[in-house]
């Protein structure tokens, strides 16, 4: 058995550096979306904000109605409050995202 000569380590290092530059991972600056949410992620977050606040309002209203004996009254009130709070959170998140996008352009 004859052993082959080991490859030149300098050329191997150059190939590794070139491959790393061509294939940057998520931890490195690999594109314009670095540090921000993707469109799908942001849309999912906004829809979850609205749904959870609505369900929390409905649940809280139902509990109050159950113990107070006023069936649909507080559930309807807290449903609208929850929906309003969800829309308010969506507006805050959207404004923050817009400011981040404007800061990146500068």
Triad 35, 22, 40: Cα angle to 5°: 35
pLDDT in tens, 1-57: 566 766 677 787 888 888 888 887 655 554 555 556 788 988 999 999 999 999 999
Q: What is the pLDDT of residue 9?
A: 77
pLDDT in tens, 61-106: 999 999 999 989 999 999 999 999 999 999 999 999 999 888 888 7
pTM, two decimal places = 0.63
Distances (CA, A) of 37 to 23, 85, 87, 89, 98: 21, 22, 19, 16, 12
Q: What ranges do the domains of the chain cover?
A: 50-106
């Amino acid at each position: 058995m004859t052993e082959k000569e080991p490859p030149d380590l300098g050329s191997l290092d150059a190939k590794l550096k070139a491959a790393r530059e061509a294939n940057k991972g998520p931890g490195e600056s690999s594109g314009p979306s670095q540090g921000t949410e993707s469109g799908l992620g942001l849309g999912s977050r906004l829809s979850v904000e609205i749904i959870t606040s609505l369900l929390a309002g409905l649940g809280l209203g139902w509990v109050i109605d159950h113990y107070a004996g006023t069936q649909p009254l507080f559930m309807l009130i807290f449903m609208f409050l929850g929906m309003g709070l969800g829309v308010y959170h969506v507006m805050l998140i959207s404004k923050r995202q817009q400011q981040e996008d404007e800061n990146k352009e500068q």
